[in-house]
Structure 1
Amino acid sequence: MRKEILLSTLIGLLFGSCTNDSESDLREPDSPTAVSYEANIKQIIANNCLGCHRDPPVNGAPFPLNTFDRVRDRAENGNLLAAMKRQTGEPAAMPPAGRLPQATIDLVEEWIDEGFLEQ
């Protein structure tokens, strides 16, 4: 009998703890937020590029990517996204440690398509 009560209590706690306090948590937002350099891209660059593309660049990197203007310039001429889209091992593929996840590349592409928003 004790085991049944304990089991019933645990099952009740398990299912009772799954609640929905707000339906907005379950739906896509009505107005998606724009991708910006400060909110999204800066961290991608910091985590994956600034190891070499700092100022001054190291490890043979030909240019820095340490500011919004420098990243935007490389994105505007198509070089940033082209390097990210190359497969690991291809010449000029970036980062050299391995291709970024497709979702990250898509976010950079969305930032470019939306006009290089800074904030």
Structure 2
Amino acid sequence: MKKKSLLIIVFLSALHFSCTNDSTSDLINTNIDQISYSNTVKSIIDNNCISCHGSIPTNGASIPLTTYQNVKDAILNQELLDRISRNQGDPSMMPSGGTRLPQPIIDQISTWASEGFNE
């Protein structure tokens, strides 16, 4: 009986100590893809902006947003981030006449810009 109790204690101790971890980097996936134009921003623009901001802008749009350079220039020189960040109902909000983009989507575009416009 004493051997059985000792065996159970050793097994439980081994189980307990094998489940500990001193480093959170082992527990959290730190290999999150960096936001870039090709893996994040392009699809946001294609899904929400291209209907008016195509290679030939329509419906009163003044600029195309079909390329990396177009979108980067729109952020740097045309206040794109300001326009998509405006409140629903603001006459200058983009997408014009549509629903404001969800804040996490706006945050992704903002992060892309603040991290240097990774292509």
- TM-score, normalised via structure 1 length: 0.72
Q: Pairwise mapping of residues 42-57 of structure 1 onto structure 2 (< 5 A)?
A: 42-57=42-57
Task: List, as ranges, runs of 4+ consecutive aligned residues in structure 1 with deviation greater than 6 Å.
Answer: none
State the alpha-carbon separation in 1 of the partners of residues 113 and 78 from structure 2: 9
The answer (yes or no) to whether the contact 1:34–1:114 under 8 Å persists in 2 is no
Counterpart of 2:91 in structure 1: which amino acid? Answer: P
Q: Which residue of 2 aligns with 1:105?
A: 106
Identify unmatched segments of 5+ residues in structure 2.
1-26
CA RMSD, 1 decimal: 1.3
Q: Which residue of 2 aligns with 1:13?
A: none
Counterpart of 1:107 in structure 2: which amino acid? Answer: Q
What fraction of aligned residue pairs are identical, expressed as a percent? 41
State the alpha-carbon separation in 2 of the partners of residues 78 and 56 from structure 1: 17
Give the aligned length. 92
State the alpha-carbon separation in 2 of the partners of residues 91 and 64 from structure 1: 20
Q: Pairwise mapping of residues 53-72 of structure 1 onto structure 2 (< 5 A)?
A: 53-72=53-72
Identify unmatched segments of 5+ residues in structure 1.
1-26
State the alpha-carbon separation in 2 of the partners of residues 74 and 115 from structure 1: 14
